[in-house]
Structure 1
């Protein structure tokens, strides 16, 4: 039975847009307020905003979004905050159809889909400030709906206190939804953000979920919102604390090498990267997560 859920889709899409606006404003304030320590004499960065589109085989409207990227700032060397709402026929390009529809119930008979979400990756100027990733999303087909996403911290120079703050903040936002939820989503993140060919994690973890459908849309949407709300209080205090720290060439070397690890993961394993490219979304927006500079040893 087809369930269109039009009002739910609109609410989810509007929420991702409001979260994007809040994060972009907070990040621009961090740039403007950075007045002491390394890189404070540079010009403050500003977001460049451009529209993105999803390619449709027959030229019909297939949705799109906004790509907001700040480059060469005082605090952020590169940060992207993207939102999108896309729809159409999943895997309408013949060579990608089977890959895109794999594992999604009912798509053989009715391959329509709708997806909306926010995706963020920040690569920092000061090596002592950790890189970070966050995304939340809703996916719909005529046969099912689900939510997914999370956030994880990716420092090249690790500080136990920073890791504890990041995780404690996420736990505080998840605990109202059930005491067992944070341990479950933390374990999921540890497994998901592991790089098999390196035998190590991408960073110090966070939370992650996919295919979230408890049968209660309102409850799952509320959980997804709180995952998004946890991001700024979990991350911004770390930026404010570490951006004033001195750094040297060895710190920069460690940062560039760690970025290589990040790039490997996103190009080889990340589901979002694969899905975006397979479904014809703007390639620049899909690959926004890649760092501006990286190094391999």
Structure 2
């Protein structure tokens, strides 16, 4: 595989940027329409965009991204929708990890390219669920693949919310094969699990990695539909729960659950590990961490 993949790379990176813009607009609309409850008199939140840069060991350009972060809004206490496009050469540890995943030849040609979108939302109202979503494409001269998914992380669970989130994802995946949703749901249940707590971090969703059927267009279309499923799966839940009255006990439950979320992202999350080990902007990589959390 060679740099003839440039058109595919450009197409994927452009799509991740388009999805970011759609989500940012939808979330700012939620802020504008929050006219009830204890946060209604606050200024509607707005995303601040910051360009991030990644520099190779020799000082050359190695890509970067755009951090889009909103803090202290009416609906969102903290939400980030980041995109990135990075490239260069993988170090020895990363080469070894690639080899363990079945990618041959990395010791001879360790070049890589990766682009994606990563989203984490932490809410003002404890009844409105936190959420995570990401999709990405990874390329080396020897292989390419897609990955990502989304999962719901409520601190106060509602069965009907979980059902809606999963049903919406299923409806977007079924056109790609009705056997796909059960597989990606099971994968998410396994991936978003915290062994040292012996529990899941939320109520699940969908997840895939190393997706390469040999048909780039088909795999890219699936990745796009995973992204397209996000807003209709999530926004109705926020609209339903954002005006629910909450107590101090509810807020305490939220903060403890955020501690659980932070543990997972710092100990197990592959994206966090990859971003930090390849030298990407640490603030962008750790955007997923909540603004406040507690441990009992």
State TM-score, norm by structure 1.
0.97
**Counterpart position of 2:38:** 38
Determine the C-alpha separation between the residues in 2 that align with 1:131 and 1:289.
Answer: 11
3-state SS of paired residue (1:16): helix
Q: Compared with structure 1, are the counterparts of its residues 176 and 107 closer, same or farther at alpha carbon in structure 2 (3 Å cutoff)? A: same
Deviation at 1:3, TM superposition (A): 5.3
In the other structure, the counterpart of 1:13 is: 13
Distance in 1 separating the partners of 2:293 and 2:97: 30
Instruction: Determine the structure 2 residue equivalent to 1:240.
Output: 239
Normalised by the length of structure 2, the TM-score is 0.97
Deviation, 1:42, is 1.4
User: 2:54, 2:64 within 8 Å by CA — same for their partners in 1?
Assistant: yes
Question: Which residue pairs with 1:80 in the alignment?
Answer: 80
RMSD over aligned Cα atoms: 1.3
Question: What stretches of structure 1 move > 4 A for 4+ residues in a row?
Answer: 94-102
| Distance (Å, rounded) in 2 between the aligned partners of 1:200 and 1:4 | 44
Q: Is the 8 A contact 2:49 2:69 kept in 1?
A: yes
Q: Which residue of 2 aligns with 1:157?
A: 156
Name the count of aligned residue pairs.
Answer: 295
Q: CA deviation at 1:76?
A: 0.2
For residue 112 of structure 2, what is the aligned residue in structure 1? 113
Q: Is the 8 A contact 1:55 1:282 kept in 2?
A: no
Gaps of 5+ in 2: none
Could you say which residue in structure 2 is the equivalent of 1:47?
A: 47
Alpha-carbon deviation of 1:55? 2.4
Kept in 1: contact 2:95–2:107 (CA 8 A): no
C-alpha distance in structure 2 between counterparts of 1:97 and 1:105, whole Å: 10
Q: Tell me the distance in 1 between the aligned counterparts of 2:56 and 2:189.
A: 36
Map 1:61-100 → 2, pairs under 5 A: 61-91=61-91, 98=96
CA distance in 2, matches of 1:264, 1:11: 34
Q: Matches of 2:261 and 2:37 in 1, distance apart? A: 26
Find the aligned partners of 1:177 and 1:38 in 2 and give their Cα distance.
43
Give deviations 1:20-65, integer Å, cap 9, x for gaps: 0000010001001100123112111111110011121111110011
Cα distance, 1:224–1:95 mapped onto 2, change above 3 Å: closer
CA distance in 2, matches of 1:2, 1:80: 33
SS state of the match for residue 120, structure 1? strand
* Alignment match, 1:285: 284
Deviation at 1:98, TM superposition (A): 4.3
